[in-house]
């Protein structure tokens, strides 16, 4: 795969990506590893898939560690961070990629527990391993980022609201992070073709992805969006701490109309 990062540019650094045994997280890990970073692959239940990714990275000469953790369980997150400290000593890049809420049988408060509470806890614990120059990236969607002004599909609304709540809670920590010299960037993208969220949404509302693709003109695929996430970890932090990926004219125009502008 083509890598957006300069080979060797992350040599000597360690990057942890949550929810990275597949999809956007897995491709982001591969980009970091190709740039020379030690990488930590976090998964909830799919150990074989995570170990396969470790083997792939190590076969290419990289250093990788797979750590299972239930991000909604603070004790489980502590065990993961301890494993990172023991193997690599510190952390330079933390990508908060894991999210959910459309899964069945997880409880009605699961989306908020994962998309808000767990994100804050992972960042709080991860920041303890980070020093000046560290970078945190939070991955979200336009449907969640703009949910305050632009309605989304009913099937996705609860998840969108929980992810926006997570984004707001993380943004509240920016002054604390800046005091430690840690940069924070939100990366927001449209629906991404090939992700589990897109698959579940399509199952709940057949035709939803094609409709969004037609409205947007283009939807990023997994590897394209992962490249933007990886790039956000090394590019200067935007003034508003936000990197918008792809066309947002629909969201900004709708929001302006809703505000009566």
CA distances from 114 to 132, 145, 236, 257 (A): 27, 16, 28, 32
What does the pLDDT average to over 54-79?
A: 97
Tokens of 207: 């035709």
Mean pLDDT of 24-53: 96
Range in 96-100, 109-113, 201-205, 239-243 the model is least confident about? 201-205
CATH 3.90.1300.10 fits 14-258, yes or no: no
Task: Return all residues near 157 (Cβ < 8 A) that are at least 6 apart.
Answer: 147, 151
**Considering all CA atoms of the chain, what is the largest pairwise distance in Å, rounded to the nearest integer?**
57
d(CA 14, CA 7): 15
Could you tell me if 17 and 39 are in contact, meaning their C-beta atoms sit under 8 angstroms apart?
Answer: yes
Check residue 1 and give its pLDDT.
63
Is the pLDDT confidence value at 24 over 70?
yes
Residue labelled with tokens 């809703």? 258
Question: What is the pLDDT, as a whole number, of residue 137?
Answer: 98
Give the residue carrying structure tokens 């040599």. 11
What CA–CA distance (Å, rounded) separates 72 from 221? 28
Given a cut of 80, is residue 95 above it in pLDDT? yes
Which spans in the chain are helix H? 23-34, 47-59, 74-88, 110-112, 118-127, 142-145, 154-171, 174-179, 196-204, 208-216, 222-232, 249-258
**Does residue 122 register a pLDDT over 90?**
yes
List, for residues 135-167, the tens digit of each pLDDT value. 999 999 999 999 999 998 888 888 899 999 999
Per-residue pLDDT at 261 exceeds 70: no
Q: Tokens representing 238? A: 């935007």
Rg of the chain (C-alpha set): 18
Tens of pLDDT, residues 182-238: 999 999 998 776 665 666 666 766 776 677 666 666 777 889 999 999 999 999 999
Percent of the chain, pLDDT > 90? 70
**Contact (CB, 8 A) for 139 and 99:** yes
φ/ψ of 14, rounded to 5, equals: -125, 135
pLDDT band at residue 100 using 50, 70 and 90 as cut-offs: confident
The per-residue pLDDT for 111 is: 87
**What pLDDT is attached to residue 198?**
64
For residue 14, the model assigns a pLDDT of 98
Residue 68 has pLDDT above 80, yes or no: yes
- State how far the alpha carbon of 224 is from the alpha carbons of 16, 36, 196, 220, in Å: 19, 20, 16, 6
Q: Are 221 and 192 in contact (CB under 8 A)?
A: yes
- What are the sequence ranges of the domains in the chain? 14-258
What are 148's two structure tokens?
């305050």
Mean pLDDT across the chain: 90
Taken in order 44, 48, 52, 55, the sign of the CA dihedral is positive
Please give the share of the chain, as a percent, with pLDDT higher than 70. 86
Total H helices, total E strands in the chain: 12, 7
Question: What pLDDT score was predicted for residue 259?
Answer: 46
pLDDT score recorded for residue 260: 46
């Amino acid at each position: 795969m083509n890598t957006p990062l300069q080979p060797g540019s992350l040599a000597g650094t360690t990057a942890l990506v949550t929810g990275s045994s597949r999809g956007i997280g897995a491709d982001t890990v591969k980009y970091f590893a190709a740039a020379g970073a030690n990488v930590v692959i976090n998964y909830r239940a799919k150990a074989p898939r995570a170990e396969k990714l470790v083997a792939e990275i190590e076969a290419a000469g990289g250093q990788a560690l797979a750590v299972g953790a239930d991000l909604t369980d603070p004790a489980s997150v502590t065990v993961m961070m301890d494993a990172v400290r023991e193997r690599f000593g510190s952390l330079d890049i933390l990508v908060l990629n894991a999210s959910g809420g459309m899964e069945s049988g997880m409880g009605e408060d699961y989306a908020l527990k994962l998309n808000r509470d767990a994100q804050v806890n992972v960042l709080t614990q991860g920041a303890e391993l980070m020093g000046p120059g560290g970078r945190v990236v939070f991955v979200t969607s336009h449907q969640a980022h703009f949910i305050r002004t632009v309605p989304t599909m009913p099937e996705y609304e609860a998840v969108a609201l929980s992810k926006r709540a997570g984004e707001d809670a993380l943004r509240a920590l920016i002054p604390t992070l800046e005091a430690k010299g840690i940069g924070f960037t939100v990366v927001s993208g449209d629906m991404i073709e090939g992700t589990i969220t897109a698959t579940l949404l399509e199952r709940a509302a057949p035709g939803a992805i094609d409709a969004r693709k037609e409205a947007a003109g283009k939807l990023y695929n997994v590897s394209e969006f992962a490249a933007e996430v990886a790039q956000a970890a090394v590019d200067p932090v935007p003034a508003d701490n936000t990197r918008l990926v792809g066309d947002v004219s629909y969201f900004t125009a709708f929001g302006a109309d809703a505000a009566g502008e």
